[in-house]
Amino acid sequence: MKLRKVTAASAVVLALALSATACGGDKKDDTSGSSSSGGGGGTIKIGIKYDQPGLGLKKPDGTFAGFDVDVATYVAKQLGYDADKIEFVETKSADRENALARGDVKFIAATYSITDERKQKVDFAGPYLLAHQDLLIKTDSTIAKGTDLNGKKLCSVTGSTSAQNVQKTIAPDAKLKKVSSYSECIAALQNGAVDAVTTDDSILAGFASQDQYKGKFKLAGLKLSNENYGVGVKKGDSATVDKINKALEKMVSDGSWQKAVDANFGPANYKNEQAPKIGVIVPNAS
């Protein structure tokens, strides 16, 4: 009896050892999880915008769409996470740095322009898109250059640096209308309450690509600033930055990047820049 008990105990120990070995053999990327991203085992939390058509939009059925969503999904796949293992988290502009510092998300793809100030708080992979400040106007508009905005009604959101840039350096006599969201600006442009809307061309193209606006608006193509969109990562997490950069390079080389641009911005006739080189930031003209 004593011999059988020892044998049974040994069998249990052996089984546990084999189980531990099997778990240790999992080669899934560990860039997410309860210890690093706040997510459960085998999932990854990614910060995006919920209210930017063409970039990051939560649709009525609960699914997500947009260029940033496509980039995030591709990157996650390269890190070892299928689409059903992704939890998209709404990450508003004012809370992006805090969300990364708290570990609420593993990375952020949300029209996140790389700036020297932000690089003091977070690390960036990319850039993955070079956008520009521009104007959205009606298709029959005669506005062809920035100075044409003098005397015209211009819409942007409260606190927008884009609108300030126009008023200070481009068209000081433009009549600025400030609202709480770009959706309000687009509605005002449609009904003739304003003559133009200004912010990043990628954001404007996303709105113009919506079914209800197709053929009604166009981008002026003025390139009033350079906005280098990067993937935000928690400060000091260089390993994740390196992995995301490799994923972004592959997305460009296999054609997935251009396919995502065409699908999300194409209807607005968005003349995008070529995919930027990793680590190369295009500065604004001095």
Pairing of strands 56-58, 153-157: unpaired
Assess if residue 21 is contained within a domain: no
Same domain, 56 and 191: no
Cα–Cα separations (whole angstroms), residue 39 to 6, 20, 21, 89, 278: 41, 22, 24, 11, 28
Domain holding 55, by residue range, is: 44-131+227-268
* Tens place of pLDDT per residue across the chain (286 aa): 444 444 444 444 444 444 444 444 344 444 443 334 433 459 999 999 999 999 999 999 999 999 999 999 999 999 999 999 999 999 988 899 999 999 999 999 999 999 999 999 999 999 999 999 999 999 999 999 999 999 999 999 886 778 888 888 899 999 999 998 888 999 999 999 999 999 999 999 999 888 889 889 999 999 988 999 999 999 999 999 999 999 999 999 999 999 999 999 877 778 889 999 999 999 987 5
One domain for residues 242 and 120: yes
Q: Is residue 262 part of a domain?
A: yes
Identify whether 12 is part of a domain.
Answer: no
235: domain CATH number? 3.40.190.10
> Does the reported pTM lie above 0.85?
no
Is there a domain that residue 104 lies in? yes
What tokens does 233 get?
Answer: 């990562």
Structural domains counted in the chain? 2
Cβ proximity of 225 and 130 under 8 Å: no
160 and 214 assigned to the same domain? yes
